[in-house]
Amino acid sequence: MGVNKLWQLLEPASTRISFHHHAVKQGFIGNFHGDRILWVGIDASHWICAAKARHGQTQSPELTALHLRCERLAQLPVTPSFVFDGPERPNVKRDKIVRGSDHWLVEPFKEMLDGYGFRHSAASGEAEVELARMSRAGIFDLVLTEDSDAMLFGALRVARENGPEDSTKQTDLLLYHAEDVAAHPDLGFTAEDLIFVALLSGGDYSVSGFNMLECEGAVSLNIYPKAGLQGCGVVVASELAKAGYGRRLIDGIRTLPSGVIGDFLDEWRQDLRTELLQNSSGHLGTRHASLARGIPDDFPAVDVLELYINPAIHPGDLDVDSCLSFSSGEPRAADFAQFSASHFQWGRTAQTLVKRYGDAFFPAMAVRQLIQAAVDIDEG
């Protein structure tokens, strides 16, 4: 998801971390919010996709995968907030019409989150937009997602999984700080630069044709303008970004009157062709005459650019103080017992349920109580 090979491009500015160690050091010991907890925004769709990929189509194995993740998360000093995609997400992504209704896992997953006391909400459009927005507002200390678009939308600190899940690994996450990406001598990219890379090399909103697919029993056709530049990969796109073409483009689209946008784009497009031919900035590894000749007169598709710079969001500004109620609640043992009885074989007898609670659920409750005791001591 997101821009192909963007994570690899930004990896020189990343840091390998242990999520457990990071949560303890930055959340419990650092105590930035006064509650000895790390505030984490999580892309719910990734957890669902990971469960589907590992466990096929039957309900119980997929829910088991989600439950195991929740068990581990509940034993850390973190306040997780899961964000789901909303009704205004784009209808087309990468030549495919997006599912018209939620996956069947969404509702039982939300019940599971309620049982653990984890907060969840729906974005207006795409989850990574809302996650990035809340990151910039200081509500989240960290965003967990595999979607590189979170960086394009301006998330300040993003972590993704460092390879397949493995409880023995010392570092299970790759952490990307936006300020480290901007300051790195080999990168120097802002969010605007990364949007430009997506426009040239292709991203979630790049469309090369039209598709008509069945979405939960309903068939619909959506047409989006073509995006991406044929033959331009992430390396060349990033070199052009270093030359300033992305920031110039987005600044012009955002600030110029609509009546002069056409002339601005004509000039910008011709300058881009000239740069590919002459490499006057010195940022290109080599000249790209064929790529320059291949730039169409309607590039870039402004409608696609608008999806990046003006995505669907909830109305109003975010206020950190008003989000203090965002904190997770206590695990709900009785509610989760009912959920387990309905969805898991081990939840159908008292003996197996109590054993499972003793192994995972009760330790999670103890962690919450210990954190609260530490906060009470802090407050005297």
Which ranges in the chain are annotated with CATH 3.40.50.1010?
6-188
pLDDT of residue 13: 98
> For the chain, what percent of residues have pLDDT higher than 70?
84
pLDDT band at 230 (very low <50, low <70, confident <90, very high): confident
Summarised one tens digit per residue, pLDDT across range 82-122 is 999 998 887 666 555 565 567 888 999 999 999 999 999 99
Q: What is the DSSP letter of 238?
A: H
In sequence order, what DSSP letters do the residues of 190-220 get, joined into one string?
A: -HHHHHHHHHHH--TT--SS-EEEEETTEEE
User: 337-363 burial, b for 16+ CB within 10 Å, e for fewer?
Assistant: bebbeebbeebeeeeebeebbeebbee
> Could you give the CA distance from residue 193 to residue 245 in angstroms, rounded to a whole number?
8
pLDDT of residue 54: 67
Angle, in degrees to the nearest 10, between helices 261-278 and 234-242: 110
Contacts of 141 (CB under 8 A, 6+ apart): 26, 27, 32, 38, 39, 40, 157
Angle, in degrees to the nearest 10, between helices 44-55 and 106-116: 110
Q: What is the CATH number of domain 6-188?
A: 3.40.50.1010
Summarised one tens digit per residue, pLDDT across range 293-343 is 999 999 998 988 999 999 988 876 665 554 544 455 678 888 888 888 888
User: Residue 38: what residue type?
Assistant: L
> For the chain, what percent of residues have pLDDT higher than 90?
60
| pLDDT surpassing 60 at residue 224 | no
Summarised one tens digit per residue, pLDDT across range 64-87 is 889 999 999 999 999 999 999 998
Contacts of 140 (CB under 8 A, 6+ apart): 39, 40, 41, 81, 131, 134, 157
Is the separation of the CB atoms in 111 and 66 below 8 Å?
no
pLDDT of residue 220: 38
Summarised one tens digit per residue, pLDDT across range 248-269 is 999 999 999 999 999 999 999 9
| pLDDT surpassing 50 at residue 32 | yes
Is the separation of the CB atoms in 119 and 326 below 8 Å?
yes
pLDDT band at 285 (very low <50, low <70, confident <90, very high): very high
